[in-house]
Structure 1
């Protein structure tokens, strides 16, 4: 194998392994403290929503399981996290209501092809909103409570491999803009020659 291929295989497998235990530090922190202070319920709910949409999309279009294997694992961990949040905030009765909402979402997503496609396009907004809600919660409380820095650091690692795609997106866009810019200059030169 070529070195960059080995690096990609390492990145894929290490990301999967990290995802398998991503929420464990957070869950353990909550269990030790007996509190969910510092965690945003809205953030976790949005995160689960994004994961469910992505998983449903992958299944709907019959992608190979290895391309989305981490999502059922992440969803299960977030469900445990949600149960702790409901338990420690004294709102376990909400667990059933949210389960019903997620079950409905799971089924509504595949009623029409355009629904699942639109939902996937909104996944980045949903995921980003989840992070912003957690940040907002921390800023307002001015206390991290039981929020686990290790969980967030591992999440950062799993997102880091996407950095390559972001860099490539920016560079491709830059090249496109330069081409358009210079094409306009060439068009102007050709117009002057014709005059």
Structure 2
């Protein structure tokens, strides 16, 4: 029992030796991952309850999917610790469900969508088998933040164009704003 306590104390001590900036970054990552567990759920529920995805931007969702996929793939391909990018697989799973319902209620689940989804799966498989050139992911990563911002702008434009925000969840947008602020803060602390 005493040996286990000493081991635990040593682990804590080693962790604290990492420095305050890295500890804060880890805490922010945990908070982000926790909020990402449910970030898209209110949006999905709103769409399913309304049985409508009017006011949701399909190009915006596709840009968001692209951004999440690139970031997760880049981190995975570079063998970064899973905790540093754990929010991306969680976000991707929710994004897939969200895209399905948006496409379903906008009646765009046809053959063209299936072919594009198949190509997406093939590219992801190549990435996860580490066959896809990492140089391409490295090139794409700096574009992910502007692409993510563009997806939000497209969403706002769609709301203004359709004059219908009933399918948009305020909770999802608030959580998204928080996690984006964490990403900005983490990028500043990395420099």
The question of a shared fold, defined as TM-score above 0.5 by the shorter chain, is answered with yes
Query: Which residue in the other structure is 1:162 paired with?
Result: 183
> What is the rounded CA distance, in whole Å, between the counterparts of 1:15 and 1:148 in structure 2?
19
- How far the C-alpha of 1:74 sits from its partner, in A, is 0.5
Measure the CA separation in 1 of the matches of 2:153 and 2:123.
22
Is the aligned partner of 1:96 residue 2:117? no
How far, CA to CA, are the matches of 1:17 and 1:166 in structure 2? Answer: 19
Find the partner of 2:152 among 118, 131, 135. 131
Q: Look up the SS of the partner of 1:162 in the other structure.
A: helix
- TM-aligned CA distance change 1:113 to 1:167, over 3 Å: closer
| Residue 150 (structure 1) aligned to one of 165, 171, 183 | 171
Q: How many angstroms does 1:12 deviate by?
A: 2.3
Change (3 A) 1:29 1:157: same
TM-aligned CA deviation for residue 158 of structure 1: 0.9
Counterpart residue number, 1:23: 40
Q: TM-score, normalised by structure 1?
A: 0.76
Question: Any gaps of 5 or more consecutive residues in structure 2?
Answer: 1-15
1:47 and 2:70 aligned: no
Unaligned 5+ segments in structure 1 are 173-195
1:64 corresponds to 2:85: no
* 1:99-150 CA-partner distances (Å, limit 9, x unpaired): 1232244337953332121111221222122112111111212221211111
Give yes or no for the alignment of 1:73 onto 2:105: no
Q: Which moved more, 1:40-49 or 1:109-118?
A: 109-118
Q: TM-score, normalised by structure 2?
A: 0.77
- Aligned equivalents of 2:147 and 2:26: distance in 1? 28
For the residue of structure 1 that corresponds to 2:53, the secondary structure is coil
Task: Tell me if structure 2 keeps the 8 A contact 1:47–1:126.
Answer: yes
3-state SS in 2 of match to 1:16 = helix
Q: CA deviation at 1:54?
A: 0.7
- How many residue pairs are counted as aligned between the two chains? 170
Aligned-residue CA RMSD (Å): 2.6
Q: C-alpha displacement at 1:167, in angstroms?
A: 6.7
